Structure 1
């Protein structure tokens, strides 16, 4: 894409994020997205065939950026426990700083049809793989207990963080999501090391 086209594409995604968060995916018309993006209705269709494609691209782009941050911050961290801390910190702080993305990720994804969930789920695969690598490294270095079911542990880690974000949203964001990092990490590490986390 040319620079001008890239700018419009990003404007449409940003507009869609705002509209989806405010109105919900199913009640968001393309005209509302166009207005929020500051483009003509017809411009949307130069980039996306249908509204579903906007949601899929939104997840792929924003989650891709998030996964990039995870890798940038975890790369070079030798201690698996500290790597897991970084993952938890970024997961909570990034969504806390972008409540629209948090809302769309936590609420709208669960209301989408199976086809959409599959397409969006593929954007999360690199994140899942990163968590699994941390668990694997922890077992190899004898920081974590041997014989952990890596895929199950990854589901439990992601699921716990996911639920923490959802609860924060449902509460009306009345407390700090980033403030939950220490207790969350303590819970994870106690289960994986078999020792209380100090």
Structure 2
């Protein structure tokens, strides 16, 4: 089934295109692959980036939209990513980067394309665990900027994943949240009140 990629806000896309057209922005990018690209760099597959700020003991999650991430392709290969963020003046380009999450995101998207059920892809960042997942959201009518992980949605941890969590193995939110809740729970010291 094809993935239903939500359209990025037009100002976010324009800001990335402007940055790609700026020799200064590309030269100062933290991406050697982008600086040395021989083919034109094109933004592709915009994904909303949501941040999971907390997981309660009941497993209820609170997420917020933090930005939009575009894979930057040169030819048929993703060589970098561009991050945008929302400011009081609207969507603006933040930075270019490369690294394992670029190739891992591309791999997870290919895996998701091969699934039989349609999904809306998003990225879900869990800063307290140093973890990034491809969030496969089942409600295709969402615009990508709102919502929280439903129990039947899938999370695909991207590499590098935290110890004990397999990268690129899809997990239902209902199955993975209890594991994550346990990992972010505060550790009680011996003798401390319960």
Q: TM-score, normalised by structure 1?
A: 0.28
Larger-gyration structure (1/2): 1
Whose helix fraction is larger, Structure 1's or Structure 2's? 1
Q: TM-score, normalised by structure 2?
A: 0.28
Whose strand fraction is larger, Structure 1's or Structure 2's? 2
